[in-house]
Amino acid sequence: MSDMLLSAEHLTLGYEGKSVIDDISFCVHAGDYLAIVGDNGAGKSTLVKAILGLISPMSGRIEYHGGLRHDEIGYLPQQSSVQKVFPASVDEVVSSGLISTLGHRLFPGAEDRRRVRRNLERFGMYEYRRKSYQELSGGQQQKVLLARAFTAAGRMLLLDEPVSGLDPHSSYELYRTIDSLNLSGCTIIMVTHDIHPALNSASHVLHIGESTFFGTKDEYFHSQEGMNFIKEAGCHV
């Protein structure tokens, strides 16, 4: 299909000759919201590295379509303790998302600055632009990092456990922001252990583990993998 952005065919990933993920296939189209779920140790982080082009498949392939390159995917990693004390202003953190778009230019231009401002406003962080990033709450920090990722690449965002460590209110606010991005046309790939994005927002689900599944959200929740996942999470559909 012409709006396909990413596809994986019979993908096997691993390290030093030992596979972590075996023979998975899936695809992502423009405007999709794909939730990648599975048990701890199932290989979700390894798949993230492969999507970003950081590791090569042991077999199978990942392909990018519609002019998308792996370095044009906005990436929000799991937040680390180092990130939480990053010594920069909010504006500087978001502006660092421009690096991949500057090309041979040394400094951002007027349109680049307007883009940063629009994204600070979009994510509700413009009033904090001069504050130190490390002074913000965990939820605010994640919004800043999300604004940075969106500034780097607004077509597709890859989010790795974005609400990890956040309180319920901050998690809700961040999920609502991500939903808004998707509704505005941004393609979302979210790695999560939380059933709620899959229940509430995802259009498609990729389940990896002892068994694998890829399909629409409705198909997933009628599959054995989906029913087991819901049961383990203590949820009801």
Residue 98: the pLDDT is 83
Q: Work out the pLDDT band at 91, boundaries 50, 70, 90.
A: very high
Residue 197: the pLDDT is 77
Residue 41: the pLDDT is 82
Residue 229: the pLDDT is 82
Spatial CA neighbour of 206 closest among 172, 180, 181, 229: 229
- Over its C-alpha atoms, the chain yields an Rg (Å, rounded) of 18
In this model, does residue 102 exceed pLDDT 80? no
Residue 1: the pLDDT is 44
In this model, does residue 123 exceed pLDDT 70? yes
Structure confidence by residue, pLDDT tens digits, 175-233: 999 999 999 999 999 999 888 777 789 999 999 988 899 999 999 989 998 888 888 76
In this model, does residue 68 exceed pLDDT 80? yes
In this model, does residue 20 exceed pLDDT 90? yes
Pairing of strands 18-29, 4-15: antiparallel
| 3-state SS, one letter per residue, for 190-212 | EECCCHHHHHHCCCEEEEECCCC
Structure confidence by residue, pLDDT tens digits, 134-190: 999 989 999 999 999 998 887 899 999 998 888 899 999 999 999 999 999 999 999
Structure confidence by residue, pLDDT tens digits, 29-54: 999 999 999 888 889 989 999 999 99
Does pTM surpass 0.85?
Answer: yes
